Structure 1
Amino acid sequence: MTSRATKLRSVLLAAALAVTATVSGINPAGATAQLNAAQIVADMGAGWNLGNQLEASANGVPSETAWGQPTITQALVDKVKAAGFKTIRIPVSYLNHIGAAPNYPVNAAWLNRIQQVVDYAYQRGLYVLINMHGDGYKSVTGSWLICDAGNQAAVKAKYQKVWQQVATRFAGYDQHLILESMNEEFDGQYGTPTQPCYSNINAYNQIFVDTVRRTGGNNASRWLLVPGWNTNIDYTTGNYGFVMPTDQFRSPSIPAAEKRLMISVHYYSPWDFAGEENGTITQWGRNATNPAKKSTWGQEDYLDAQLKAVRDVFVSKGYPAVVGEYGSVDKSAFDSANNRYRADFARAVVSTAKKYGAAAVYWDNGYNGQYGLGLFNRAALTVTQQGIIDAIRAGLAS
C-alpha cells in the first residue's frame, strides 16, 4: 500500500521531470519513452564528436579553449545538426576541477558549463553522449584514473563521487542523454592487456553503472555506455579479461530480457592510413589507384570482421554497440585524392556499423588542413569537408 506522503513525493518528482524536459526543449512525453537496442541505434543516426574542447586542459585545468578551439556556441551545434548529424558526443575532462577527499566536489562553474553545452544539443532533440575523457591518460597533467596506480581504493572512491555528482545533475534528462563511463582506459602500452589493470577497468565500469543507477530519476533506466581495454575491439571481444558490468540497480520498469548497457569501441584501422602523421599511406579501400600509397592491411574485409566480432559477442546478446570514434587525418597535402579515400573510409565504417547493429560517431578534433580531422571550421561556422559528411550520410542510407 502506498502512503499519501509517498504518493505526493511521486507526483512532485514526475512534475519536476516534466518541467526539466520542457525547459530542455524535449517533449515531456519523451521522458518516459523507452527504445530497445535496435531502435536506439537506428534513432541515433549519424554521430559527431565535439573533440578537443571540454576534454582540453592546461596544467591540469580543463578549459574548452586550451587547445586552440573557440568557445562552444549554440550556433556551432545548430550547424552540426543542419549537416545531418543526430548524435553529438561531448568528451569531458575533470582533472583539477575535482576537489579534495572525501567528497571530491566538482567545480560548480565547470559542471554548469558542461550542462550548458549538453543543452545546446539536447534542446535541439539530438542524442548527447558525455563521458570522463582525459582523466585516465598518463600523458595528461593532473590525470588520476590510472588503472595501474598504487592506491586503487582512492582512485575508485574519487571516480564514484564524481560520477555521482554528474549523474545527479542530469537525472531529469530523458533517453536522449547517454552517459559513458570513461574513454580509452589502459595502462599506456599497446600490447596485450595486463592484469590486474584490466580488473580495475572492469571495476570502474561496475562502479559507474551502480552509481548512476542509484541516483534515480531517468538514470535508473538510462542507456549507459562502457568500454573495454583502450576501446580496442580485439581486447574487448577476445579472451583478455573484459567483463560486462551487472545492472542490478536498474529500474524494474525495464523489461527483464532487455539490456540498457552499450559497449564502446573505437576504430582507426589501419593506423598508417587513419592516424599516422606522414604522407606515405594516403589511400584506402577497393578504389585505391596507387598500391604504394595503400596500406597492406585494414581494408574492407578487416573492417567487416572487426565489427562482426562486436556483433557476435555483444549486439547478439542485446548490448548495442557504439563506435564512439573513427576517422582519418587529412593527408591531401601529399596526395590530392586523399579526401576521396577519407570519405570512402567514413562511408564504410558507418555502413558496416549499421550492418552489425552499431552507431558510429566521427572524431572531429576541430583542426582543418594537414593532419586535421575537422569537418567544420568552428570559428567561421562553415563546413570544410562536405564530401566526408555526404559519405557518412550515404553510409547510413546504404
Structure 2
Amino acid sequence: MSTTVRKAGLAFAAAALALTGAVYGMTRPASAEVTAQLTASQLVADMGAGWNLGNQLEANANGIPSETAWGNPVITQALINRVKASGFKTIRIPVSYLGNIGAGPGYTVNSAWLNRIAEVVNYAYNQGLYVVVNMHGDGYKSVNGSWLICDAADQTTVKDKYQKVWQQVATKFQSYNDHLVLESMNEEFDGQYGNPTSPCYSNINAYNQIFVDTVRKTGGNNAARWLLIPGWNTNIEYTTGNYGFVLPTDRNRSSSIPSNEQRLMISVHYYDPWDFAGQEDGNITQWGSAAKNPAKKSTWGQEDYMDTTMKKVYDTFVTRGYPVFVGEYGSIDKTTYDSSNNTYRANYAKALVSTAKKYGAATAYWDNGYNGQHGFGLFDRSSLTVTQQGIITAIINAVGSSTPTTPPTTTPTSKPPTSPPTTPPTSAPTSNPGGAGACRVSSTISAWNTGLTSSITITNTGTAAINGWTLTFTLPTGQTIVAGWSATYAPASGAVTATNAGYNGTLAAGGSTTIGYQANHTGNAGAPTGFKLNGTTCS
C-alpha cells in the first residue's frame, strides 16, 4: 500500500470534514540571490537532517486541498522555527492540487492556493532551510479528484495537465536559489502491489521527462536547480532493479553546469520492515540488534537488510553522480503495546540516517502531525512543542556525529545474494494450520465519496496457537478491493478470502494481528460481514 495512504493515520478518518477556511495570505518576495552551485556530495552534506510537513498541504476535503482537513492546525512561521531550532536543515512539503486545478486547456491553478504554497515555502526558505516541494496526492486512485493516474486511458490529457500545472508551479519559484528543490511526484504507481507493469512504468518515466523539460524551460534559476525524480512507487527495489525505471534526459539545463556534473536527484522512501514501521498492531514493537524480546522483533528488515538496500542506490545512482534523497522514512508510536518502543524507533531512525549518509543520501523523516498511538509525529503542531526528543536527537546525531564511510567504488565481480523484497513475502497457510480454535474480529471503516479504507483486527481467543490462517468474509454489494496490506485478498469482491502474510501467519493464544484494504464503492460503504477464521465463525 502506498505510504501516503497507510501513513496518513487520521487522514481518511477526517477526509469528510468540511473545508476549513484557512486564510491564504500574500507571499513574501522570494530571494533572487544566486548561490554557488553545489556538487552532489556537497548538496547531500548541506541538506543535513530533513523533516516532512506531512498531512497538511496534501490534505483535502472532498477533493479540494485544505491544510486543516486532516486534523492539523494552520501552518505557522512559529512551527517552522521550532523545527529549525531542533536541528533540521531541510523541510519537505508535500502538496496536492486536485480540485484547485481549473479546466483544460489551460488547467489554471487557483492563485490563492499557489500563493499559500509559496507562503509556507517561504517560512522555511527565508530561514535558510532547504525546501523540497513535491506533487503528492494527485496520483492516488483512492483520493477524490486524483488525475495523475498511470493506467488512465487518456494519457494525452493526463500529460498535458501535468505539464501545465508544473509550468505554473515552476514559474512561481523560478527566482528561488538552490535551497529550493522540486520533486516531480510521490509514490506514483497503478495501485497494485507486486512487480511493476510495463505500460504504467513507461508513463511514469514520461511524467518525469515532462517534469524536467517543463521546469528547465521556465528559465531563471530553474535552469540549474536540483530536481528530484522517483521511480515506481518511490520504491528502492523497483527503482534500482531491472523493472523499467529510466532516468530522464536533462537536455535543457543551464550551460553553466559542468558537463561532468548532474542536476537530477533520485527520490526513494524507506519503511522496512513494515510490521515494525507502520503496521498498526502490537505484535512487532522492537527493532535492531539491541532488541531484547525476539518475539517482538521482525524476522527481516534489520541493520544488514537496511545496509544492503541502501547500497543499491549507491551502486545504481550515486556512483554516477546522482545524489539520493530518502524523502520519507519513520515508524509509528507503539508505546501503548510496549513501553520501550520509542527506544527502538530512535534506533531505527538513527540507523537509517547513518546508513543513508554512508551511501551518499540525504533523508527526511515522515511526520504526519499525529502524536500518540500509531502516530509519526515528532512535534505537537498546536502547542509548538517537541513530543519525541529521543528520535530527534538520534536523527541529528546520526547526521552530524561521524564522517561518512567510503563505500566500495567498484562493482562486485559476482552477483550479490538476493535480498528480501521490500514488501514482506506472503505465504499460504501450512498444510496443517494448527486448527482454528476460537476467534474474534473487529473492523473499522473510514469512508469518503467513492472509496473506503477498512482495518480488520483478528484475535485468536482459543487456547492453542494458530499456524497459518485464512479469513473469509463478505463485502457489501458494490464494493471492490483495489489494494490491501498484511494479507493477500481474492477475489476482489463478493466472498473474499484473506490469506496471512509470511510474517503474521502464527497467532499465539490470545494474540492478534491487523490487516486491511482499500476499496471502491458505489454508495454502500458498509463493513464486511460473516467472518470465519480457518472455517470457524468469529465473534
Compute the TM-score of the two structures, normalised by the length of structure 2: 0.69
- Which residue pairs with 1:368 in the alignment? 371
- Which residue pairs with 1:202 in the alignment? 205
| 1:106 maps to which of 104, 109, 113 | 109
Q: Does 1:246 align with 2:218?
A: no
| Letter aligned with residue 229 of structure 1 | W
Partners of 1:269 and 1:187 in 2: CA distance = 21
Partners of 1:71 and 1:33 in 2: CA distance = 34
State the Cα distance separating 1:246 from its structure 2 match: 0.2
Aligned residues: percent identity?
A: 74
Partners of 1:314 and 1:239 in 2: CA distance = 14
| 1:144 maps to which of 126, 142, 147 | 147
Partners of 2:353 and 2:316 in 1: CA distance = 19
- Which residue pairs with 1:43 in the alignment? 46
Partners of 1:285 and 1:225 in 2: CA distance = 30
| 2:297 maps to which of 294, 298, 323 | 294
Q: Does 1:173 align with 2:140?
A: no
- Which residue pairs with 1:54 in the alignment? 57
- Which residue pairs with 1:120 in the alignment? 123
Partners of 1:163 and 1:64 in 2: CA distance = 20
What are the Cα deviations for residues 117-163 of structure 1, in whole angstroms up to 9, with x where unaligned? 00000000000000100000000000000000000000000000000
What are the Cα deviations for residues 329-353 of structure 1, in whole angstroms up to 9, with x where unaligned? 0000000000000000000010000
- SS in structure 2 opposite 1:91? strand
State the Cα distance separating 1:286 from its structure 2 match: 0.3
State the Cα distance separating 1:195 from its structure 2 match: 1.6
- Structure 2 stretches lacking a partner, 5+ long: 1-27, 403-539
Q: Does 1:74 align with 2:77?
A: yes
| Letter aligned with residue 118 of structure 1 | V
- Which residue pairs with 1:262 in the alignment? 265
| Letter aligned with residue 294 of structure 1 | K
Partners of 2:279 and 2:348 in 1: CA distance = 15
Query: Which structure shows the higher strand fraction?
Result: 2
Question: What is the aligned residue count?
Answer: 374
Q: Does 1:344 align with 2:347?
A: yes
| Letter aligned with residue 108 of structure 2 | P
Partners of 1:131 and 1:199 in 2: CA distance = 20
State the Cα distance separating 1:23 from its structure 2 match: 4.7
| 2:384 maps to which of 371, 381, 385 | 381
Partners of 1:58 and 1:263 in 2: CA distance = 31
- SS in structure 2 opposite 1:110? helix
- SS in structure 2 opposite 1:229? strand
- SS in structure 2 opposite 1:231? strand
- Structure 1 stretches lacking a partner, 5+ long: 1-21
| 1:135 maps to which of 138, 163, 175 | 138
| Letter aligned with residue 232 of structure 1 | N
Partners of 1:391 and 1:196 in 2: CA distance = 41
Partners of 1:52 and 1:280 in 2: CA distance = 26
State the Cα distance separating 1:32 from its structure 2 match: 3.6
- Which residue pairs with 1:234 in the alignment? 237
| Letter aligned with residue 350 of structure 2 | R
Partners of 2:192 and 2:199 in 1: CA distance = 14
- SS in structure 1 opposite 2:325? strand
- Which residue pairs with 2:221 in the alignment? 218
- SS in structure 2 opposite 1:390? helix
Partners of 1:395 and 1:123 in 2: CA distance = 26
State the Cα distance separating 1:189 from its structure 2 match: 1.2
- Which residue pairs with 1:86 in the alignment? 89
- Which residue pairs with 1:160 in the alignment? 163
Partners of 2:247 and 2:35 in 1: CA distance = 26
- SS in structure 2 opposite 1:230? strand
- SS in structure 2 opposite 1:228? strand
| Letter aligned with residue 227 of structure 2 | L
| Letter aligned with residue 226 of structure 2 | W
| 2:34 maps to which of 22, 31, 34 | 31
- SS in structure 1 opposite 2:198? coil
- SS in structure 1 opposite 2:113? helix
| Letter aligned with residue 398 of structure 2 | G
Partners of 2:329 and 2:205 in 1: CA distance = 23
Compute the TM-score of the two structures, normalised by the length of structure 1: 0.93
State the Cα distance separating 1:252 from its structure 2 match: 0.4
Q: Does 1:325 align with 2:328?
A: yes
What are the Cα deviations for residues 152-186 of structure 1, in whole angstroms up to 9, with x where unaligned? 00000000000000000000000000000000000
Query: Which structure shows the higher helix fraction?
Result: 1
- Which residue pairs with 1:391 in the alignment? 394
Partners of 1:62 and 1:349 in 2: CA distance = 32
Give 4+ residue runs of structure 1 displaced > 4 Å after superposition: none
Partners of 2:37 and 2:122 in 1: CA distance = 20
Partners of 2:306 and 2:193 in 1: CA distance = 19
Partners of 1:108 and 1:231 in 2: CA distance = 29
- Which residue pairs with 2:357 in the alignment? 354
What are the Cα deviations for residues 300-357 of structure 1, in whole angstroms up to 9, with x where unaligned? 0000011100000001100000000000000000000000000000000100000000
Partners of 1:217 and 1:23 in 2: CA distance = 15
What are the Cα deviations for residues 346-381 of structure 1, in whole angstroms up to 9, with x where unaligned? 000100000000001000000000000000000000
| Letter aligned with residue 221 of structure 1 | A
